[in-house]
Amino acid sequence: MSGTAWNLAALVGERVQGLQEYAPEPLPEVARRLGVSEDRLIKLDANENPYGPTPRAVERVRAFPYLHRYPDPIARRLREAIGAYIGVDPAHILVGNGSDELIDLTLRAFRPGPKGGGIAQVLDFPPTFGMYAFYATANDMTVVRIPRGADFSIPVAAVEDLCRRDPRPRLAFVASPNNPDGGLLAEEALERLLALPLIVVLDEAYIEFAGGSRAAWVPKRQNLIVLRTFSKWAGLAGLRVGYGVFPEELIGALWRLKSPYNVNGLAQEAALATLEDLDIARERIARLVAERARLIEGLRRFAFLHVYESQANFVLSRLQGVHLTAVRRAMEARGILLRYFEGPNGEEWVRISVGTPAQTEAVLEAFANLKANGGGGDGL
Ligand SMILES: Cc1ncc(COP(=O)(O)O)c(C=O)c1O
């Protein structure tokens, strides 16, 4: 064999150099590292649903007869059912491989091409879900970061200011409830953002735990997109089903752009079955909402936690006088997995997904123990 010695790494697009691989440790490895069996892990780090899919979804996945067939590329039956669930004409709905795919698809639809057109800038409001900035960078778009306030609210006046100074159209990604704090975007703030030259992508991944979706606004607004998912409330994170509610003018472009078989048949079937099992799904949502209140109340007993109100299926606390490493060590010693964040000014936070009552007890007991032991020597 002869020929060119390729330097493949140098040929990869420059934007890719700055991206971080996303590869959380698989559960069996976590279990091995912590020395506990996998079924004893208390996994509260990814805002998953501890109750799993509804019985009907499990049953229909088990009996699914079409593994050898290609799925419906435009998910007709599922879109009809979603339309009925959210009260929006299915002509506005596109289903994706998780809402992650729809974040990417939306950005790809607007990214400027060599012949011009498109939108070059994306507004991001950190701390928030990291995938907006990730996919914007992956699509060669410029991310303009406007940090949230200490209470995690969006500084709308700063956005208005920016748009006044430079009124070119931009995409703005807003999670409501926001991840990691669980706060909702106020209606007044949304109205002010929609009045600007912005296409607002409202990410309602957790809205079932809050109520008050704006999905039904989409047909009446030109510059609003709403993203939703079956990953959280429906317990289908592993199957990857999300959907977007898009303005009619835009959705044709997205149909043309998307991969033909983006949502597999099992995923479509499970989502459809969940929508036929709404009583059970809603009962579980109610259980998680009640458990969220119990978790918040329990956490508020610890002076070293500043606990935020949440409208989602997770609760964020800022650590004060105890170090993240001490909390992580204490939790992992009990097989408890939580999500930890560090802010640019030395802030440390822990985000706890709402689990079962027994899981709440385990977390609260671990915090009580941490307090009793003085934070393991390097904290409290
Ligand atoms: C705000 C937000 N949006 C979207 C997602 C991704 O959801 P999906 O599983 O549908 O891709 C998450 C997942 O954590 C999230 O927190």
pLDDT at 377 over 60: no
**Domain end (from 251, 277, 303):** 277
Same domain assignment for residues 257 and 331: no
Residue 252's pLDDT is 96
| Rounded-to-integer distance, Cα 344 and Cα 324, Å | 15
Q: pLDDT digit string (tens) for 134-143? A: 999 999 999 9
Same domain assignment for residues 59 and 186: yes
Residue 376's pLDDT is 47
In a domain, 6, yes or no: no
Contact yes or no for 372/338 (Cβ under 8 A):
no
Same domain assignment for residues 36 and 171: no
| Rounded-to-integer distance, Cα 232 and Cα 236, Å | 7
Q: Which atom of ligand 1 is nearest to the CA of 129?
A: 1
Q: Which of 179, 184, 204 most suits a substitution to test ligand 1, by most atoms within 8 Å of the C-beta? A: 179
Q: How remote is the CA of residue 40 from the centroid of ligand 1, in Å?
A: 25
Q: How remote is the CA of residue 5 from the centroid of ligand 1, in Å?
A: 41
Confidence band (pLDDT; 50, 70, 90) for 375?
Answer: low
Same domain assignment for residues 84 and 157: yes
| Rounded-to-integer distance, Cα 355 and Cα 332, Å | 16
Please tell me if the CB atom of residue 137 comes closer than 6 angstroms to any atom of ligand 1.
no
| Rounded-to-integer distance, Cα 61 and Cα 56, Å | 9
In a domain, 257, yes or no: yes
Please tell me if the CB atom of residue 96 comes closer than 6 angstroms to any atom of ligand 1.
no
| Rounded-to-integer distance, Cα 326 and Cα 305, Å | 13
Q: What is the mean pLDDT of the chain?
A: 95
Q: Which residues contact 116 (CB under 8 A, 6 or more apart)?
A: none
Judged by average pLDDT, the poorest of 105-119, 201-215, 284-298 is: 105-119
**Domain end (from 246, 277, 308):** 277
Same domain assignment for residues 124 and 217: yes
Domain that holds residue 185: 55-277
Please tell me if the CB atom of residue 229 comes closer than 6 angstroms to any atom of ligand 1.
yes
Please tell me if the CB atom of residue 242 comes closer than 6 angstroms to any atom of ligand 1.
yes
Please tell me if the CB atom of residue 99 comes closer than 6 angstroms to any atom of ligand 1.
yes
In a domain, 146, yes or no: yes
Alpha carbon of residue 146 to chain centroid: 19
Q: How remote is the CA of residue 27 from the centroid of ligand 1, in Å?
A: 19
In a domain, 7, yes or no: no
Please tell me if the CB atom of residue 129 comes closer than 6 angstroms to any atom of ligand 1.
yes
Same domain assignment for residues 40 and 84: no
Please tell me if the CB atom of residue 97 comes closer than 6 angstroms to any atom of ligand 1.
no
Confidence band (pLDDT; 50, 70, 90) for 349?
Answer: very high
| Rounded-to-integer distance, Cα 301 and Cα 315, Å | 14
Structurally, how many domains does the chain consist of?
2
In a domain, 4, yes or no: no
Same domain assignment for residues 341 and 202: no
Torsion of CA 241, 247, 252, 257, to 10 degrees: -50
* Percent of the chain whose pLDDT exceeds 90: 89
Query: What CATH number is attached to the domain comprising 249?
Result: 3.40.640.10
Pinpoint the alpha helices (H) of 182-264: 187-194, 248-257
Q: Which residues contact 323 (CB under 8 A, 6 or more apart)?
A: 348, 375, 378, 379
Same domain assignment for residues 159 and 236: yes
| Rounded-to-integer distance, Cα 189 and Cα 334, Å | 42
In a domain, 1, yes or no: no
Please tell me if the CB atom of residue 176 comes closer than 6 angstroms to any atom of ligand 1.
no
Same domain assignment for residues 265 and 292: no
Backbone angles phi, psi at 316, to 5 degrees: -100, 140
| The two structure tokens encoding residue 219 | 């047909």
pLDDT at 372 over 90: no
Same domain assignment for residues 59 and 200: yes
Same domain assignment for residues 159 and 290: no
Q: pLDDT digit string (tens) for 140-154? A: 999 999 999 999 999
Residue 203's pLDDT is 98
Q: Which of 43, 48, 100 most suits a substitution to test ligand 1, by most atoms within 8 Å of the C-beta? A: 100
Mean pLDDT of 163-181: 98
Please tell me if the CB atom of residue 98 comes closer than 6 angstroms to any atom of ligand 1.
yes
Q: pLDDT digit string (tens) for 220-268? A: 999 999 999 999 999 999 999 999 999 999 999 999 999 999 999 999 9
In a domain, 2, yes or no: no
Cβ burial, residue 70 (10 Å; 0-12/13-18/19+): exposed
| Rounded-to-integer distance, Cα 307 and Cα 298, Å | 10
Better-scored residue on pLDDT, 371 or 210: 210
| Rounded-to-integer distance, Cα 349 and Cα 119, Å | 34
| The two structure tokens encoding residue 184 | 């909702």
Query: What CATH number is attached to the domain comprising 315?
Result: 3.90.1150.10
Q: pLDDT digit string (tens) for 86-122? A: 999 999 999 999 999 999 999 999 999 888 789 999 9
**Domain end (from 261, 277, 293):** 277
Contact yes or no for 139/104 (Cβ under 8 A):
yes
In a domain, 3, yes or no: no
Please tell me if the CB atom of residue 208 comes closer than 6 angstroms to any atom of ligand 1.
no
Same domain assignment for residues 149 and 283: no
Judged by average pLDDT, the poorest of 20-24, 167-171, 181-185 is: 20-24
Confidence band (pLDDT; 50, 70, 90) for 2?
Answer: low
